[in-house]
Amino acid sequence: MIEYQDLIAKNSQYTSLLPSIDSANVFLLESEDTIYLENFALMLAKAILCTGTTRPCGKCQDCLKMSLVSHSDVHIYPKFSKGVVVDDVKDMLDRIYLAPLESDKQVFIFNSFSSATPQAQNKLLKILEEGPSNSYIILCVSAISKVLRTVQSRCYKTKLLPIPSDDLKKVLDISDNSALDRVLSLAGGSLTRAIRYAQDDDFQGIYDAVLSTICDMKDSRQVLAYSCMLGEKSEDLSIIFELFEIFFRYLLLVRLGREDFVEDKSCLERLRSVQQEYSPDAIDLILREIYKAREKLEFNCNKQTIIDSFLLYILEVKYLCRE
């Protein structure tokens, strides 16, 4: 098994980004894969601070400290709440004109910057333009659309690509080959998803429960039983909705005769058996509803209500869109 940082060090997107640290000071990294994104930012900071010849050399004092994520010239936000707020930017402004402590540069990393309030983003604007040349700012976002255009235009932008399965395999600790294949095909190149699936002791149980809901739930009187079953399988509804999304995408591919694009072949037979029950229109509506449900989850709405109404919705659109 290799560490996440080693995975990134050999990634071609990372190595091709490195020359830009000589010309840019502000980076905007975009990915929904949070764990990969945050580690990518740390690796970029490592290369910025490295004093070796091929950066990051992995041997100099700065590299060694970065490997332990304990470099005193790297400041990571948000510090005060879950999302980035004005106080985070104020904290950065207090530090940015001070001399670095250990090296000759400073790096400020803003994780989950998609959540930054417009006030915080506006406060950051001026420094993006006129910050000291030995300071670097890395903004990590899940979706660039949540960043003000004025902020975007001052950044060197990079959208992180999915991680190749062969690389992802190296950081997962799964000895069972068929389980490994399933995790890899469902993760879709996301380190965050792969780790989450790999670490869930009952991932197979959740997988079966979601698939069974799609294939076997036929009547609104069954909704309660299915929602209880799903709730028992996982406290974490986001993993359940991720699987719903994956299976409904697969189902759409089956309906459109594009089974070759389905990564996880082991669910194909079951999906084929119910394809006539779901028209492409119904699947499209259900996928939209999944996005809405996931947004509600972020706002901490009542979990039971979210899952109950989603299951009812599936039955409703199946009925309304029947061909």
Closest approach, Cβ 59 to Zn ion, in A, equals 6
- What Å distances lie between residue 73 and 46, 298, 310, CA to CA? 11, 32, 47
Number of residues that bind Zn ion (CB under 5 A): 6
Binding region for Zn ion (CB under 5 A) out of 43-51, 147-155, 174-182, 306-314? 43-51
Of 41, 48, 60, 107, the one binding Zn ion by CB under 5 A: 60
Specify the residue, 55 or 193, whose C-beta has the smaller distance to Zn ion. Answer: 55
Number of Cβ atoms within 10 Å of the Cβ of 15: 12
| Contact status: 63 vs Zn ion (CB under 5 A) | yes
What is the DSSP annotation of 182-237?
HHHHHHTT-HHHHHHHHH-TTHHHHHHHHHHHHHH--SGGGHHHHHHHHHHH-S-H
Positive/negative CA dihedral, 174, 175, 178, 179 = negative
Specify the residue, 50 or 314, whose C-beta has the smaller distance to Zn ion. Answer: 50
Specify the residue, 35 or 57, whose C-beta has the smaller distance to Zn ion. Answer: 57
Torsion of Cα atoms, 279 then 281 then 285 then 290, to 10°? 50
Specify the residue, 43 or 237, whose C-beta has the smaller distance to Zn ion. Answer: 43
Specify the residue, 52 or 132, whose C-beta has the smaller distance to Zn ion. Answer: 52
Binding region for Zn ion (CB under 5 A) out of 42-50, 113-121, 126-134, 271-279? 42-50
Of 21, 42, 43, 50, the one binding Zn ion by CB under 5 A: 50
| Contact status: 57 vs Zn ion (CB under 5 A) | yes
| Contact status: 52 vs Zn ion (CB under 5 A) | yes
Closest approach, Cβ 57 to Zn ion, in A, equals 4
List the one residue out of 108, 116, 119 whose CA is nearest residue 142: 116
| Contact status: 230 vs Zn ion (CB under 5 A) | no
Closest approach, Cβ 21 to Zn ion, in A, equals 13
Distance between CA 111 and CA 9 in Å, rounded? 20
| Contact status: 104 vs Zn ion (CB under 5 A) | no
Specify the residue, 45 or 253, whose C-beta has the smaller distance to Zn ion. Answer: 45
Backbone angles phi, psi at 285, to 5 degrees: -65, -40
- What Å distances lie between residue 204 and 55, 169, 179, 311, CA to CA? 42, 18, 8, 20
Distance between CA 91 and CA 84 in Å, rounded? 11
Specify the residue, 41 or 252, whose C-beta has the smaller distance to Zn ion. Answer: 41
3-state secondary structure of 142: coil
Q: Which residues bind Zn ion (CB under 5 A)?
A: 50, 52, 56-57, 60, 63
